[in-house]
Structure 1
């Protein structure tokens, strides 16, 4: 009974988020409150449970990087990069989109996709403003590219960190097994973007001429401040990349970097706190508790157990179920709490495999499904939610369905190709 009621609350909340009849933050707070009030998520678990409560690693990673971005913004570097990007693309819409997607996809495996989006999205808003075009399609394309690119490494996508920890997989393991297919998927996505976003491309010759005449170097308002910020950012990036060596959670790295930048730069708190997406942070907190209700009442575990029983000892079928099942479920439940919940189930399946190679193949199928499923809907991955928040803050709101109609097509195509990769390489 409790499982059915928890599922009903989640379903109604998801429908309200999708239809945008009520603000998404109000929806998740109400749903999370109901889950706690009805005892589906005990009050203690809301704040302290690793699998059923708020994932503070994600919240504080976002907060730390938002503060860092807020301080860096004071230097004028985003406007500099915006003008530079506009000049390099000569204002051509598709060329500009590809340039921004490539930057995003290259940075995501090493910074993590959420951090990359928080750095690239402000540049996108600036360049689109200069060219007099809507940034929405470019922001959506960047979010999709970040989820694909971030799948390549252990630290590129938060679900990978969870999977790596549970399965004992290293940074190099991810690089050797995930990066090859990610490169193929990204190249195909670049070609697909030409078709997906063709109706959104705008070109205004007069605005392009104005931008080409600008001197981007004049955008830097404080060179010394920029040098300090870039030095600290470089240390933060290095710490992210050395996660498997230093054993520091990304959230700790982000908070330390934010604290160091605040101390060294002396920027006023009102300036950088104004850039923090508070509604996005609250939305995530409520979403984690909503999913926690499904975890505590056994809904997600029941789905996983059913899948395990259905495939039996056919391990290619198990890999297929993990890949497609994770893509579908991860698209609706946010892939971070979904992976945290399902990882023990996958571990049980892996324990039944005849050899280590087959077991690892199941982990890679699980990772690919969860990472690529993050493109499925507007709330399926942290990067997507952050993009929606940034777009709304700058007066260019992206609706749930506007994002999802692009994400669904991208997910379907990339997951099918990933399935072929798993079959060819491991079975």
Structure 2
């Protein structure tokens, strides 16, 4: 790639981010237009697009499958029942509402992708907010942040986490032993920030409306079958990779989406066309386009230069590198979508570890899995930086974009500035707590 092409790539990339940040152009249109400009100028060719497709296939498959399953579950009436229980459990207290929001979102996101969790629970959250006569924008924003944070509880909770973990061959069980506690810390540190950041919601007191007749599930057999699909999906997330066929999480999500569509088709609740129409294609197009833009940045060789700089500055001090990645990737993930940032950073980290002679040159290939224990904190720092950095801004994570879409359909969109106001302080505190966790893991592994 020539110097001129490098400058054009960086300029297009920066322009896309600025257009989104200042709300000058729809995020999906901005990212797709930037990609098309690079294609038209010959900077991105067919091989680059194939490379971007390979990198994006897993995370996008995970999101698409989860969205379809969520859409089918939404027609069962199950979440109307959950909404009634949630509303009554708040007792009209804003503080209880916010704390229960964490208790509701976090466990679901431990076994389902974060964007899927937001799609599933959005109707419940909006309904309870309306009943409490409360603003639903900030609870939806908070739900996205909680889902991103809780995505660190398991390897399938966040596409960025999955991308890093799967790259080093980390199993579901190994992840639980080495990373999940840090995810729990990331969720818990949100609690003391709520009375400060959302004081009016925290102090809210409302008299609940008269109790209506309890909601009932009208099609119990259909709901039970949809629940079975969800159970199968969760079970395969946990045990699929141990099966002889080695079913990885994106494949699990696709299998579950097919089963969910079959259940919906057989029940004749609504046409399959309606289900697929309601998939959040905007988020998928945005992420696919960002993967292409990141592929262009990889092609410039800037990531390899960053790997060299890492080695020149830090040498073999892996702990410092892990902390630097936590902060640096956290910053990048707040400006860009965290999944492609994680994909690009993996390349940089592999290059650094080869130069530091932690792993052989074969580690640069996609099939390498013999990562030494001393390298694990570096990848954990990358996971936390990418996943939690996505909490800072509207474009940082797919769940944020989904939450914004829900609010826009309700007539009150989330602006970039509004999300930044709440997301940035939470992210700073979470990254600080994660730095302590990375240090603790480093000490234990040594």
Same fold (TM over 0.5): yes
The corresponding residue for 1:140 is 141
Count of residue pairs the alignment pairs up: 421
The corresponding residue for 2:282 is 279
Structure 2 gaps of 5+ residues are: 360-371
Residue deviations 1:157-214 (CA, integer Å, cap 9, x gap): 22222222322322222212222222223222112122212245584735x223xx12
Residue deviations 1:242-280 (CA, integer Å, cap 9, x gap): 243243243332232222222233332244234322222
Residue deviations 1:133-155 (CA, integer Å, cap 9, x gap): 22211111111111211112222
The corresponding residue for 1:318 is 321
The corresponding residue for 1:262 is 261
Residues 242, 388 of structure 1: CA spacing in aligned structure 2 closer, same or farther, 3 A cutoff? farther
The corresponding residue for 1:112 is 113
Tell me, yes or no, if structure 1 residue 222 matches structure 2 residue 219. Answer: yes
User: Cα distance, 1:409 vs. partner?
Assistant: 1.0
User: Cα distance, 1:413 vs. partner?
Assistant: 0.9
**How do residues 21-420 of structure 1 correspond to structure 2 at under 5 angstroms?**
21-46=24-49, 48-49=50-51, 51=52, 55-200=56-201, 203=204, 205=206, 208-210=208-210, 213-218=211-216, 220-246=217-243, 247-266=246-265, 267=269, 268-351=271-354, 352=356, 356-420=372-436
More displaced stretch, 108-117 vs 350-359: 350-359
Distance in 1 (CA, whole Å) between partners of 2:252 and 2:154 is: 18
SS at match of 1:123: helix
The corresponding residue for 1:18 is 21
User: Cα distance, 1:44 vs. partner?
Assistant: 4.2
User: Cα distance, 1:85 vs. partner?
Assistant: 0.7
Residues 354, 56 of structure 1: CA spacing in aligned structure 2 closer, same or farther, 3 A cutoff? closer
User: Cα distance, 1:234 vs. partner?
Assistant: 0.9
How large is the RMSD of aligned CA atoms in angstroms? 2.3
Distance in 1 (CA, whole Å) between partners of 2:65 and 2:358 is: 44
Distance in 1 (CA, whole Å) between partners of 2:358 and 2:263 is: 55
SS at match of 2:209: helix
Alpha carbons 2:98, 2:202 under 8 Å: kept: no
The corresponding residue for 2:368 is none
Alpha carbons 1:29, 1:283 under 8 Å: kept: yes
Q: Which runs of 4+ in 1 moved over 6 A?
A: none
TM-score by length of 2: 0.87
Distance in 2 (CA, whole Å) between partners of 1:243 and 1:304 is: 34
